[in-house]
Amino acid sequence: MSTSGNVVAMKKVVQQLRFEANIDRVKVSQAAAELQQFCIQNALQDPLLTGVSSSTNPFRTQKLCSFV
Amino acid sequence: MCDQTFVAITFGPCDSCSQNKPLMNIYLQNEPVNYCSLCVELMACQGLAKGETVSTLRAESENLKAKLEEERAKLHDVELHQVAEKVETLGQFVIKTRRTLKGHGNKVLCMDWCRDKRRMVSSSQVIMRSAAVCVLQEHAVTMPCTWVMACAYAPSGCVIACGGLDNKCSVYPLSLDKNENLAAKKKSVAMHTNYLSACSFTNSDMQLLTSSGDGTCALWDVESGQLLQSFHGHSADVLSLDLAPSETGNTFVSGGCDKKANVWDMRSGQNIQSFETHESDINSVKYYPSGDAFATGSDDATCRLYDLRADREVAIYSKESIIFGASSVDFSLSGRLLFAGYNDYNINVWDVLKGTRVAILFGHENRVSTVRVSPDGTAFCSGSWDNTLDFNPV
């Protein structure tokens, strides 16, 4: 019982590895360039990077706070 | 050994011998089949007859693993921080104001932002609260179990899911009436055989994705509580999961105590990619905003970035002076900054491209358990075992 259980488990492992070995990959240089491009393109829309003027900051200190 | 038995038992006609018996749901060449246990045994023995023994399969799996590493190494022509050398260095990272939200009776274990960017839900050992920032509006719900380890807001903002040591994930509808007893409307959706470590709604209020200490992740239909798909592949507790950001995306990533981060296809249940370079438990996983990469935080005191198309780790964020594990990670909107909360009570902010640390944020008096950036990117919130939530707007 345990031997055949091991075989089934090992077969699954081998199948999974075969699947993973066959996927398409790109070079790190290309992947890294695309990550970098995404960062740069979106940098201006990132308030934590660029800061935000107080008129548009939704979390600026309010003078009036209501307790519900 | 962790408890991994998570089997949905069905009873019916076997696909192979047609007798009515308890069935095992297995996959043969990516096709789901229902065989009775006798037929599974026979099938396994047939495998043996063709000359495959455990040792030949083991040898083949070692070969395949080596081949996988070779293929990945071939494409490793450069490091991310080398590519990023020409990018402008970031200016000093300044957080101007911070509001500390006290009021949890106990450790804050996790939190989530609502998509309306104003509300958050946080959990602690006993109570779950949702607090609107600026307008204090609280719902306190007492949970029947002691540790609530996972909580999530539904996309509509009308419903909250949470769970923990009770092995379940329950869903609570929110109402504006503070006096309404929310616990009475609770609905149990997910059932695992060990603690619930993370939960997340998919793109709608209708489906819930969970991960558990039983080593599996699962996708549930909220309305009926039915298990739609289960994900097997981790060999130890799964601690964290994150859904791919795209609207049409059907993948998610999970990280666990087996040091592996796995990427899954939600529809088929297939494990698409697997990454094992961490040296200890992975506590937190988070997708990069473009969906092409994800970051992990681990007990080995490092955070790492894995690119999905290059199929490998492309950056490590670590320093010799950082020796405590990272419990939670999140990206800023553009993906340039990585916020990571650590067990040494600090939050380190990393420049994702250059691999350098941009800032250390102090302020907590105990472990940082969760760090989340708001959906519009204007603030981030950190929860800690010191019973507070620190809210840091820009």
Give the mean model confidence (pLDDT) for residues B47-54.
60
User: Which residues of chain A are within 8 Å of residue B47 when distances are taken between CB atoms?
Assistant: 7-8, 11
Cα B333 to Cα B269: distance, rounded to the nearest angstrom? 29
Q: Residue A29 and residue B380: Cβ atoms within 8 Å?
A: no
Q: What CA dihedral angle connects B324, B325, B330 and B331, to 10 degrees? A: 60
Q: Residue A48 and residue B61: Cβ atoms within 8 Å?
A: no
Closest-approach residue (CA) in chain B for A53: B394
Residue of B54, B90, B175, B265 to mutate, interface with A, max A Cβ within 10 Å: B54
ipTM of the complex: 0.77
Q: What is the largest CA-CA distance in chain B?
A: 70
Give the mean model confidence (pLDDT) for residues A7-30.
83
Closest-approach residue (CA) in chain A for B294: A35
pLDDT band at A46 (very low <50, low <70, confident <90, very high): confident
- Supply φ then ψ for residue B10, to 5 degrees: -115, 155
Q: Is B170 helix (H, G, I), strand (E, B) or coil?
A: strand
Long-range contact pairs involving B62-66 (C-beta distance under 8 Å, separation at least 24): B64/A14, B64/A17, B64/A18, B64/A21, B65/A17
Chain A, window 10-39: residues with a beta carbon less than 8 angstroms from a chain B beta carbon: 10-11, 13-14, 16-21, 23, 25-36, 38-39
pTM: 0.80
Q: What is the pLDDT of residues B185-196, one digit of tens each?
A: 788 898 999 999
Q: What is the pLDDT of residues B97-149, one digit of tens each?
A: 677 777 666 788 888 887 776 677 777 643 444 554 443 345 556 555 567 88
What does the mean pLDDT of chain A come to?
75
The answer on pLDDT for B246 being more than 50 is: yes
Amino acid making up residue A8 = V
Q: Residue A42 and residue B334: Cβ atoms within 8 Å?
A: yes
- Supply φ then ψ for residue B67, to 5 degrees: -65, -40
